[in-house]
Amino acid sequence: MTAIEAPRSPVRPARKRGVNWEKWGWIYMRASGVVLIVLIFGHLFVNLMVGEGVKAIDFGFVGGKWADPFWQWWDVLMLWLALIHGANGMRTLVNDYTSPGAVQKVLKGALAAAAVVLIVLGTLVVFTFDPCPAGSPADLLPSFCPAV
């Protein structure tokens, strides 16, 4: 007869002292989730519902949006909140479907690496973006770019 553990017995005992990171992760998922609903619904409405929707998106469209700091900060906030929310959610799945060990460490490392790389990349892109790159055909650029 094999001894079966109680279904909810933890693999590792809970931390007794220090910061309770699982609690703050739990709080983060709810707080960021509420903010993300506003940010993503706004993003989808402006990009897919207004005017010709997805058919209107091109370099000039993005350049026009990011000429305004409001949309720069909107998109950067969305980037940070969504990637951390998504990576932490995927961490929950890794915890559920793998046992502690090398595989679990590699999967969590990959999630963290993907989140960090894309957050850094996306933030740099938004804030170093040049809407009027020299030498590009004027018909591909936003209308406010000076004619060469």
Partner 1 sequence: MPETSAGTLTAPAKPAKQKPGGTLYRGREGMWSWVLHRITGVAIFFFLLVHVLDTALVRVSPEAYNAVIGTYQTPIMGLGEVALVGAIVFHAFNGLRIILVDFWAWATRHQRVLFYIVIALWVVTMLAFVPRHLINVFSH
State the residues that interact with partner 1 by CB under 8 A: 1-2, 4, 30, 33-34, 36-37, 40-41, 44, 48-49, 52-55, 57-60, 62-63, 79, 82-83, 86-87, 89-90, 93, 114, 118, 121-122, 124-125, 128-129, 133, 136-137, 140-141
Closest approach of partner 1 to the CB of residue 19, in Å:
21
CA 67 to CA 42: how far, in whole Å? 18
Name which of 111, 110, 106, 118 is nearest 90 in CA terms: 111
Closest approach of partner 1 to the CB of residue 18, in Å:
24
Q: Which is nearer to partner 1, 52 or 102 (CB)?
A: 52
Contact 80, 119 (CB under 8 A): yes
| b/e code 76-106 from CB counts within 10 Å (16+ = b) | bebbebbbbbbbbebbeebeeeeeeeeeeee
Closest approach of partner 1 to the CB of residue 10, in Å:
20
Q: Which is nearer to partner 1, 74 or 141 (CB)?
A: 141
